[in-house]
């Protein structure tokens, strides 16, 4: 419970911090993701709820959702990091997305905010 309170406090403090550039926003988001990931790992380490265990315990379905969320956020942040590190960043959003995408085929729709097929 203390870790959850610490996470909420951290996110509240960093959420109030002044973001100076898009690069700052991306790197602050990566830091927040790392804090959330550590919390999720601690949750996963708890005994399973379906085994005779007293709370706190972890639910397999919740762990699966946390893993999916981590994968999606990691891809999005990776794409955003590639975009803000691009030499063409800021010139044109589409150009920045295309420049960042070659290293990761999933980056382009994430950067543009559209799923494949739409």
As a whole number, the mean pLDDT across the chain is 75
Residues 6 or more apart in contact with residue 28 via CB below 8 angstroms:
14, 17, 19
103 pLDDT higher than 80: no
117 pLDDT higher than 50: no
Strand (E) or helix (H) holding 67:
helix 60-85
58 pLDDT higher than 60: yes
Beta carbons within 10 angstroms of residue 109's beta carbon: 17
Question: So where are the chain's domains?
Answer: 2-112
Q: Tell me how far apart the alpha carbons of residues 46 and 84 are, in angstroms, rounded to a whole number.
A: 37
118 pLDDT higher than 50: no
**pLDDT confidence of 50, banded at 50, 70, 90?**
confident
Q: How far is CA 48 from CA 37, 52, 53, in A?
A: 19, 8, 7
């Amino acid at each position: 419970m203390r870790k959850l309170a610490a996470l909420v406090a951290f996110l509240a403090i960093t959420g109030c911090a002044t973001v100076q550039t898009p690069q700052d926003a991306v790197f602050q988001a990566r830091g927040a993701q790392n804090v959330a990931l550590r919390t999720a790992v601690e949750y996963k380490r708890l005994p399973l709820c379906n085994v005779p265990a007293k709370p706190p315990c972890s639910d397999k379905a919740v762990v699966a959702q946390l893993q999916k969320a981590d994968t999606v956020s990691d891809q999005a942040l990776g794409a955003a990091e590639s975009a803000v590190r691009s030499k063409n960043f800021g010139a044109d959003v589409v150009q920045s997305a295309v420049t960042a995408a070659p290293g990761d085929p999933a980056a382009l729709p994430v950067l543009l905010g559209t799923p494949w097929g739409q």
